[in-house]
Amino acid sequence: MIKIKKPLAVILALSIAVICAIALKATGAYTVYTFSSGKRDLPIYCVDTDEKRLAISFDCAWGTEYTDKILDTLDFYKVKCTFFMTQFWVEKNPDCVKKIFERGHEIGTHSKTHPDMSKMSKQEIEGELSSSKDAIEKITGKTVELFRPPYGDYNDLLVSTAREMGLYTIQWSVDSLDWKDLSADEIAARVLKKAKEGSIILCHNNGLHTADSLPLIFSALQEKGFVFEPIGALIYKENYTVDHSGMQIKT
């Protein structure tokens, strides 16, 4: 048996921890985990349910080229969903915001300027969220209740501050990776492989092949008996906990 000197063992352990952290960050899942023993204040990644209910969401920060096609497809399959919008996108595309809302879809905030919000102070976070909420509510007249952090990046302060402002922080359990310009078949295959009861699916309104992937996704999951709901209807609004994986559980 080879004996490793204590200083070398410590260096090796720290190196492994750093490598693991980098690997987790690359997958987009790093924010769920912590190397400390403290309990994290986590967003909602998915919902614990035995019913065939799930949600699909679209982040809106750049462009509108494919939004009408997405809306027409949602109408055709009778799917209602959630759009998360940045303030600069809202202010640039007010008619599109109004159209999305009038066609029965839920709208949440995706921040004001799409920054790394885990690096912000409480006051800065409040500014991003209140300003972006106001911009959306000015157009729709409906209170914003959902928030998705840009880049999926968050910390305890961000989640707790959003909660204090009446916002549920929402992540995702199924990443379509449509922003990588995957083909429609590749996007659909990713979603269909991972989607299950209580899933929250991440897409983008301006993904190159997102709109073309939706008929494949909707037809396959609806054939299996799944019903798509806006995230606000899927999640529990009270009496719940969020476990270490980000699953929201009714208490």
Q: pLDDT of 6-39, one tens digit each? A: 455 444 444 544 444 444 443 333 334 333 335 7
Q: Do residues 215 and 187 touch, judged by C-beta distance below 8 A?
A: no
Q: Do residues 52 and 199 touch, judged by C-beta distance below 8 A?
A: no
Predicted local confidence at residue 4, as pLDDT:
44
Which pairing describes strands 247-250 and 240-242: parallel, antiparallel, or unpaired?
antiparallel
User: 75-108 pLDDT, tens per residue?
Assistant: 999 999 999 999 999 999 999 999 999 999 999 9
Predicted local confidence at residue 40, as pLDDT:
83
Residue spans of the domains in the chain: they are 1-38, 46-250
Low-confidence ranges of the chain (pLDDT < 70): 1-38
Is 185 assigned a catalytic role? no
Nearest CA-CA partner of 100 in 60, 131, 134? 60
Predicted local confidence at residue 38, as pLDDT:
55
CATH topology of domain 46-250: TIM Barrel (3.20.20)
Amino acid 192 reads L
Strands of the 240-242 sheet, one edge to the other: 46-47, 247-250, 240-242
Predicted local confidence at residue 30, as pLDDT:
36
Predicted local confidence at residue 33, as pLDDT:
36
Is 59 assigned a catalytic role? yes
- Tell me the pTM: 0.85
Options 105, 204, 209, 212, the catalytic residue? 204
Options 59, 175, 178, 212, the catalytic residue? 59
